[in-house]
Amino acid sequence: MHLFLFLAVLLAGPGSWHGMWDCSAEAPDGRTIPWVMRIVDAGGKLEVYIREDAEERRAEEVRRQADELSFRFTVEEGTFTVSLRITGDTFSGTFKGTEHSGGLKGTRKTS
């Protein structure tokens, strides 16, 4: 039984992060900006999509190392680099742009 559970966790790999995530960013002016992150498996490779309001953007340079996920995305305000540490169904992290940086947090949607 223990071997089966170990193999299931091992094989889950990036799939364990798939799904929709409710997220928020701490803006430099103190506002909290809500956004949604979608993580999908595209042929064994992680793809990340960011949505704020109605427009969804695909993240670039997506990298996973252990419990850390990093990527870049571009919006009207500029290009941002994101670094997240994912633990189960939650994450915390940071974003950094040319003029702004701050904290991030999120929780995976259950349905």
The CA-based angle 24-71-45, given to 5 degrees, is 115
How would DSSP label each residue in 22-44? EEEEE-TTS-EEEEEEEEEESSS
Which structural domain, as residue segments, surrounds residue 42?
2-108
pLDDT digits (tens, 9 = 90+) for 46-87: 999 999 888 899 999 999 999 999 999 988 888 999 999 999
What average pLDDT does this structure show over 76-101? Answer: 93
The pairing of strands 32-41 and 78-87 is: unpaired
CA-wise closest residue to 24 among 72, 89, 79, 91: 91
Q: What are the two backbone dihedrals, phi and then psi, of residue 59, each rounded to the nearest 5 degrees?
A: -75, 155
CATH number at residue 20: 2.40.128.120
Q: How many domains does the chain have?
A: 1
pLDDT level of residue 98 (50, 70, 90 thresholds): confident
The single-letter DSSP state of residue 99 is: S
pLDDT digits (tens, 9 = 90+) for 5-38: 232 333 344 447 899 999 999 988 889 999 999 9
Q: Which residues contact 37 (CB under 8 A, 6 or more apart)?
A: 20, 21, 23, 48, 49, 50, 51, 106
